[in-house]
């Protein structure tokens, strides 16, 4: 694959199972990405250097996942002009609601696009959409992906129509 266009950053390796979903969908759509672990709290200098150097290294978007206080996406957004997509990670006693609030409540001037708790797949899709604004090949692959989603709905609807509700549910 080509040079990375999307950076995927997570605060801990415990976030990797969720954040891998972003990498997987980007791979499916033919968008190269890089994945790192960096913490806004435990490795602030590394995080700052990553954010400051991202655009110069050719990245066009950053996906940042974090749980708990979830400062990582906002810190990165404060240090780069690239679009940042935050993924609140389900963790701790609040099951990710604290992370969701932390990421979505950014101050004016430091926006972070925010997806659902553990919504890394949608973060990857959003990053691909951003890339597709300038990359025709990615746009075509994304259109094909969306057509596939519509086809899946039609297949499920046809199956429901032929089986009926009870048999459809029994077959799941």
* DSSP output for 133-159: TT-HHHHHHHHHHHHHHHHHHHHHHHH
CATH of the domain at 27: 3.40.50.1970
Average pLDDT over residues 107-118: 97
Contact between 124 and 24 under an 8 Å Cβ cutoff? The reply is: yes
CA distance 76 to 126: 17
- Read off the pLDDT band of 69 (50, 70, 90): confident
Burial 105-129 (b: 16+ CB within 10 A, else e): ebeeeeebbbbebbbbbbbbbbbbe
130 plus 141 within the same structural domain: no
128 plus 157 within the same structural domain: no
122 plus 155 within the same structural domain: no
123 plus 167 within the same structural domain: no
User: Can you give the residue range of the structural domain that contains 58?
Assistant: 6-134
- pLDDT exceeds cutoff 80 at 1: no
Average pLDDT over residues 103-116: 96
55 plus 98 within the same structural domain: yes
Number of structural domains (the chain) is: 2
119 plus 151 within the same structural domain: no
Q: Please, where are the H alpha helices in the chain?
A: 16-28, 44-53, 72-79, 97-104, 120-132, 136-163, 165-170
- State residue 3's pLDDT score: 94
In a domain, 1, yes or no: no
């Amino acid at each position: 694959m080509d040079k990375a266009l999307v950076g995927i950053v997570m605060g801990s390796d415990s976030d990797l199972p969720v954040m891998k979903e972003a990498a997987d969908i980007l791979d499916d759509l033919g968008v190269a990405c890089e994945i790192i672990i960096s913490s806004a709290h435990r490795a602030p200098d590394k995080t700052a250097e990553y954010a400051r150097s991202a655009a110069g290294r050719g990245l066009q978007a950053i996906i940042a996942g974090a749980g708990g206080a979830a400062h990582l996406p906002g810190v990165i957004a404060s240090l780069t002009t690239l679009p940042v997509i935050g993924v609140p990670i389900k963790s701790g006693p609040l099951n990710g609601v604290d992370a969701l609030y932390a990421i979505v409540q950014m101050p004016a001037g430091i926006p972070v696009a925010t997806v659902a708790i553990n919504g890394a797949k949608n973060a990857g899709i959003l990053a691909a959409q951003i890339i597709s604004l300038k990359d025709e090949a990615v746009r075509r692959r994304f259109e094909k992906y969306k057509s596939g989603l519509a086809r899946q709905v039609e297949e499920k609807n046809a199956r429901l129509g032929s089986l009926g509700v009870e048999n459809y549910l029994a077959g799941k």
